[in-house]
Structure 1
Amino acid sequence: MMEKKKILEEGLLELYLTGELSEEQASMVEEALDQDTALREQFDALEADFERMGMEQAIAPPPAVKARIKDSVQPNLIRKTNWTPLSIAAGFALIFGLSSFWLYEKWQNAESNLETLQTQTDRLQRQVNNLESEFRLTSNRLESINNPDVIPLVLYGNQKAPNGKAVAYVNHKNHLVLVNPKGLPVLPNDKTYQMWSDVDGEMISMGTLPTDTELVSLKYIENAESLNITIEPAGGSDHPNVEQLVSFVTL
């Protein structure tokens, strides 16, 4: 006996209903319908749907046509016409149209599912690429921190930043400065931390310190005597606000 799964997946019920199966295939489908109640119910429902759709799409003839046909019939002549071949042909035409519509809907759904899957795949690929980029960046920074030429410097907060702390990693050989500002208190959106190098009494900006980042790469300044952190307007300043100095460390 033909398996139910094969019948459903290959659309054999629809082909059987439209008479498009070979005798052998039709016989196997009939045998499955006789032995599988659920499959028979599904076939009956499909057949009923086709009939209902055929009735819904039926078009009534105009009254004038109906009158002409009636007038052409002799009152004393009873003619019996065999409409069976025409009915079968019309039924097959209707079923073929419905089957084509069903297959078109299936194709449209498959196209839509393919587009959705492609969109999801592209989004996942972008996420993977971002993760790989972040991983490489973090690995490079950790490698820079663990370099034996790196000098770690802790900048403790003063009364303006109680319990605040930042750690600077300075590599004079490679001219590299990385700072972990996560220990500093969070500022309002219109303020930011900024680090400065003191060179012969002149404060030179090294860059701003966003507190939502683990490691911030700053500009290395030659011959710096100390590192200083101030609170500045968002975006940073050209000159430090020394009254808002929150931490410093001597090199």
Structure 2
Amino acid sequence: MMESKEIREQGWLERYLLGELSEEEVRAVEDALRKDPQLKMDMDQLEADLEKMAFENAIDPPSHVKSQLMDQVSKVNVTTIPLNENRNNRAYLAIAASLALLFGISSFWLFSKVNSMEEDLQLVQEENAQLQDNVLELQSDLAETTQWYEAVNDPGAIKLILAGNTNSPNALAISYVNHDKKSVVLDAKGLPRLAEDKDYQMWADVDGVMIDMGVIPKDTEMIAMTYIERMESLNITIEPAGGNDHPTVENLISNVYLN
């Protein structure tokens, strides 16, 4: 005869309620239930819990299903066979619990699937957004490159070489002056990099007066400088970061005359 402890530890109460035991095992469990009131209370509680779970997860069928089922049943001759009420209830309970478990598993699978699809969708949306940003950046770069290409290849553009002097012998810049369009484009990639507290600044000489054409930004190759009317020469100096209101003549590194 099985002990109550063994029945609990091996999960025989659950299997008993779900109808998974053999006839011999059922008799052993029922014999133990009659002899152990506490075991019987445990089984009743477990049965109530399973029944509650089954009802909580039950899904109401469409209203027309019941009427169709009753119509079919009324057409069939049924022989009634008396059943053991407790065993019959346990069978129904086992079916209900199994369906509830199946419903729970299916719901969890669907929930996981939906979450996975949402994550995939979010990833695709993020990748699309990144691609759009890349396309916009490429379009901007192309537009800027096209603008510079047209500026330096304009028939009215005058190409001027600003070579470095003894203050910066390796310096080299190219300026494109277009009097018709009143524009000055500077190719500054040949200028040596300065310390963070220094900047290059460009000046136009008009009747002996140096007029500011703008600070040359660091890490920028092509720059549109300010066009100055009647300028006679272009000059580049090294100034404090952010530029100066007047040129530091001793820091002149390059100049070129327009005529």
Question: Which TM class, normalised by the smaller chain length?
Answer: 0.5 to 0.7
- How far is 1:115 from its partner? 1.4
C-alpha distance in 2, partners of 1:102/1:67?
32
Max Rg structure: 2
C-alpha distance in 2, partners of 1:79/1:248?
110
- How far is 1:69 from its partner? 5.7
C-alpha distance in 1, partners of 2:102/2:85?
30
Question: For residues 66-123 of structure 1, what are the alpha-carbon distances to aligned partners after superposition, in whole Å with 9 as ceiling and x for unaligned?
Answer: 17969xxxxxxx9972433321221111111111111011111111221121122112
* Identity in percent: 47
Greater CA deviation, 218-227 or 126-135?
Answer: 126-135
Q: Which residue identity does 1:173 align to in structure 2?
A: D
Correspondence 1:81 to 2:87 = yes
Partner in structure 2 of residue 204 of structure 1: 211
C-alpha distance in 2, partners of 1:107/1:117?
15
Alignment of 1:160-239 (within 5 A): 160-239=167-246
C-alpha distance in 2, partners of 1:111/1:222?
62
Alignment of 1:20-59 (within 5 A): none
Contact 1:197 1:228 in 2 (8 A): yes
Alignment partner of 2:109: what SS? helix
Question: For residues 172-219 of structure 1, what are the alpha-carbon distances to aligned partners after superposition, in whole Å with 9 as ceiling and x for unaligned?
Answer: 111010001111111011111010001111111111113522211000
Alignment partner of 1:81: what SS? helix
Structure 2 unaligned segments of length 5 or more: list them: 1-13, 16-37, 46-83
Correspondence 1:104 to 2:79 = no
Task: Work out the number of aligned pairs and report it.
Answer: 184
Query: What's the C-alpha RMSD, in Å, of the aligned pairs?
Result: 2.5
C-alpha distance in 1, partners of 2:159/2:42?
105
C-alpha distance in 2, partners of 1:67/1:170?
98
C-alpha distance in 2, partners of 1:216/1:89?
78
Q: Which residue identity does 1:214 align to in structure 2?
A: E
Q: Which residue identity does 2:100 align to in structure 1?
A: A
Alignment partner of 2:87: what SS? coil
Question: For residues 148-184 of structure 1, what are the alpha-carbon distances to aligned partners after superposition, in whole Å with 9 as ceiling and x for unaligned?
Answer: 1110000010111112110000001110100011111
Partner in structure 2 of residue 3 of structure 1: none
The partner residue of 1:117 within 114, 120, 124 is 124
Query: How does the TM-score come out when normalised to structure 1?
Result: 0.68
Query: How does the TM-score come out when normalised to structure 2?
Result: 0.66
Cα distance 1:156–1:91, how it changes in 2: closer, same or farther (>3 A)? same
The partner residue of 2:249 within 242, 245, 251 is 242
- How far is 1:239 from its partner? 1.1
Contact 1:182 1:211 in 2 (8 A): no
C-alpha distance in 1, partners of 2:42/2:191?
96
Partner in structure 2 of residue 133 of structure 1: 140
